[in-house]
A and B are shown apart, each in its own frame.
Chain A
Amino acid sequence: MSGLPGWEATERVLESGGFESRQRVLLPEPAVEPSESGARWLGVTYWQAVDGFTRSSVRATWREEGGRLRLLGGATLLKFGPPGLQYGDEAVSCRYAIEGGLLALRAGGSVTLAQRAEGEQHEISVTVEEYLPRLAARAGAPWWAGTVYAKGQSPFHAAVSRRYFQLLVQGRGA
């Protein structure tokens, strides 16, 4: 992965039937400081990455009770709870619970943006856990659903993560 040291991307189906996908990079310096603002910045930058990657056709909108990822300001692709911020010397994270939306079979799972010390380096990661995508191969799903997920939504996650890591690296030098 050019310009993104230590890039790794993994994806697997958990025993629960949920999906887990994870992308990460390794940076020589932390991207954010260990504080509430640093944790929040991990989340804010992620939604900026989604917005930038989709040329603003998919944007997150927020209320007190959480956020909605909307297509062209209309259809809600995913619903999220409010950000859960954690920060300490070893790790900083911002976690959003997935609460539904067109792309979720049902509420459950989460997206976590995190930074943690990894030896001398700092690992920045995007982890989607226990997510039950509507577009996935499973009993009872249309034959094309798994293909759409594998060829569309899954690469989309990875591409947004790349954009996200790039934004964090740019912002670090700002």
Chain B
Amino acid sequence: MRVTVFGATGVVGQALLPLLAEKHEVVAVSRGARDPDVGIRWVEADVASGEGVGDALEGAAVAYYLVHSLGARDFERRDREAAGNVAREAARAGIEQIVYLGGLGGDDRDASPHLRSRRETGAHLASHGVPVTTLRAAMVVGKGSAAFETILGLVRRLPVMITPNWVSTPTQPIALTDVVRYLAGVAGNDAAIGQPFDVGGPEVMTYRQMIERIAALLGKRPRIIEVPVLTPALSALWLELVTPVNALVARPLVEGLRNPTVAREERLRKLLPFELTSFDEAARHAFDA
């Protein structure tokens, strides 16, 4: 089966490609020219403009959509348009399934723009009739994951942290290796076509607990002071100052901290059973990668 991967150069895409290449003919999409990899054909396309998207989908049965525009000021509009372009071309190309990695926690009326945008992207992908399999995940724990690198940057640099009280919001981070295993497992899987699934790691924790766990793994003991008033804009600027993450990426992530990102169901865990990676193991793997 031929599968096309949009967002193939991202953290999740890079980890997913070799897994897909074990079973499928893989077409990986990037905006610039790339050297060929074993079992992977790279093609150029731009989901934002729609240029080359139709060609990239030709002959494929499944399309992966791992694209996001975090870091752009108008990421909501960009994500909407890009998803619309892919949905339209996927319908024209006769794609049987779109697999989308969305976010947990965008259901509330007061959801952050980032989480709301992840949810709307899924709706736009489904807008031209191709069945969408949505995997909704919280933070992906892996090298290069923006959210994980933000926390890691804080722990590595700050002995004392002044944080918004949103750090007490529960979340269910998932290891990069586990999320790509789920993503690969749903391709062409009849029970998964057109279905939304929550995916989470084996542990639920608050961001504060996550900071403390990472600190313990790094042999540090930061002091965390929660304050009730710290705006997302201030937090984002502060994060840009002390972590490698750009404020335009950090702000939507910080805003998202106020929404719980916890799986509410386990259907995919039952459909694709395997032992999930513990948070500590996933974090250690990310440090070493």
Interface residues of A (CB under 8 A from B): 32-33, 35-38, 40-41, 44, 47-48, 52, 56, 59-64, 70, 72-74, 167, 170-171, 174
Knowing A62-B209, A64-B209, A174-B107, the reply to whether A37 touches B168 (Cβ < 8 A) is no
User: Besides A44-B262, A56-B258, 14 other CB < 8 A contacts?
Assistant: A32-B264, A35-B266, A37-B263, A37-B265, A41-B262, A59-B165, A61-B226, A62-B209, A63-B206, A64-B209, A73-B165, A73-B228, A170-B109, A174-B107
Chain A residue contacts of B72, Cβ below 8 A: none
Chain B residue contacts of A61, Cβ below 8 A: 165, 168, 206, 208, 226
A63 to B198, CA, bound (A): 24
A64 to B279, CA, bound (A): 15
Q: A36–B168 contact, CB under 8 A?
A: no
Contact of B168 among A33, A38, A60 (CB under 8 A): A60
Chain B residue contacts of A33, Cβ below 8 A: 264-267
Which among A35, A70, A74 has the greatest number of chain B C-beta atoms within 10 A?
A35
User: Nearest chain-A residue to B267 (Cβ)?
Assistant: A33
Interface size class of B (residues with CB under 8 A): 20 to 34
User: Nearest chain-B residue to A36 (Cβ)?
Assistant: B266
Which among B200, B260, B266 has the greatest number of chain A C-beta atoms within 10 A?
B260
Chain B residue contacts of A37, Cβ below 8 A: 198, 200, 262-266
Q: A44–B266 contact, CB under 8 A?
A: no
One digit per residue, 1 when the CB lies within 8 angstroms of any chain A CB and 0 when it does not, for chain B 207-251 equals 011000000000000000011100000000000000000000000
Interface SS of chain B:
loop
Chain A residue contacts of B198, Cβ below 8 A: 37
Q: In this assembly, does B110 line the interface, its C-beta being within 8 Å of a C-beta of chain A? A: yes
Q: B107–A170 contact, CB under 8 A?
A: yes
Chain B residue contacts of A60, Cβ below 8 A: 168
Chain B residue contacts of A171, Cβ below 8 A: 107, 264
Distance of A57 from chain B, by nearest CB (Å): 8
Chain B residue contacts of A38, Cβ below 8 A: 264-266
Chain A residue contacts of B200, Cβ below 8 A: 37
Knowing A33-B265, A40-B262, A44-B262, the reply to whether A63 touches B170 (Cβ < 8 A) is no
A38 to B263, CA, bound (A): 8
Distance of A1 from chain B, by nearest CB (Å): 20
A32 to B263, CA, bound (A): 11
Contact of B260 among A36, A44, A72 (CB under 8 A): A44
Distance of B274 from chain A, by nearest CB (Å): 17
Distance of B122 from chain A, by nearest CB (Å): 11
Chain B residue contacts of A47, Cβ below 8 A: 260
Knowing A44-B260, A48-B108, A171-B107, the reply to whether A63 touches B266 (Cβ < 8 A) is no
Q: In this assembly, does B154 line the interface, its C-beta being within 8 Å of a C-beta of chain A? A: no
Distance of A140 from chain B, by nearest CB (Å): 34
